[in-house]
Amino acid sequence: MGVLAQILIVDDSGFSRAMMVRELTGLGIDACQIRQAGSGAEALAMLTDQSFDLFILDIVMTGIDGIAVLKEVKRRQPNAKIVMCSGSSAPELVKESVSLGIDGFIVKPYKAEDFVRVVCGTLPGVSASCVAGEPLQVKCHVCDSKMIEVNSLNTVSFYCPNGCMQIGPVVYALATQQHFDEDYDRARLGK
């Protein structure tokens, strides 16, 4: 069964876009469900004539950048899922993106399996056919919100969408709720 989702990839690198298209079609998403924009301006123009289920946004682009596109998407298509995919993992960019309401953040260069897993986590119809394992679910110790995964090549961090806390980075294999719970308890008990 195919996946019924419309996806817009916004990235100024044609190579990056081609790699993502390859991963997405590998998940069984038809190429006609994937549109591409090579700039922020192009992306904003597309917002007026089509609605999307998932946006994959580069951040650093000349002209209108990915943060500006993210703000417009939240205003005009608030139900869409958003995954940032950026060569920059500067904490202020990550924090701003998370506070604006994103569903995942992938730092380039990324492993294909991480890209697939994060995308699977945003599209319910994909999860069953996802070969890269279940999406990680980690909850904020303060407000109990699902924390946003920030994935880079060898590590993963989690940010509370409400800004309560940030955990990680840790190597991916250690990133379990139990690990973070124990870590949190140790920190709280001062051990």
Least Å from the CB of residue 129 to Zn ion: 31
Strand ranges, E, within the chain = 7-10, 34-37, 54-57, 81-86, 104-107, 148-151, 155-159, 166-171
Q: By C-beta, is 119 or 147 nearer to Zn ion?
A: 147
Residues that bind Zn ion (CB under 5 A): 140, 142-143, 145, 160, 162, 164
Q: Which residues contact 118 (CB under 8 A, 6 or more apart)?
A: 83, 104, 106, 135, 149, 151
CA atoms within 13 A on the CB side of 71: 5
Residue with tokens 């940010």: 159
Least Å from the CB of residue 168 to Zn ion: 15
Least Å from the CB of residue 164 to Zn ion: 3
Q: By C-beta, is 61 or 167 nearer to Zn ion?
A: 167
Q: By C-beta, is 18 or 143 nearer to Zn ion?
A: 143
Least Å from the CB of residue 166 to Zn ion: 10
Least Å from the CB of residue 143 to Zn ion: 3
Least Å from the CB of residue 110 to Zn ion: 26
Residue with tokens 């990056």: 16
Helices (H), 54-107: 66-76, 91-100
Q: By C-beta, is 60 or 142 nearer to Zn ion?
A: 142
Q: By C-beta, is 7 or 167 nearer to Zn ion?
A: 167
Q: By C-beta, is 30 or 185 nearer to Zn ion?
A: 185
Buried residues in 143-173 as b, exposed as e (16+ CB within 10 A):
eeebbbbbbbeebbbbbbbeeeebbbbbebe
d(CA 47, CA 60): 19
Q: How far is CA 119 from the centre of its chain?
A: 7
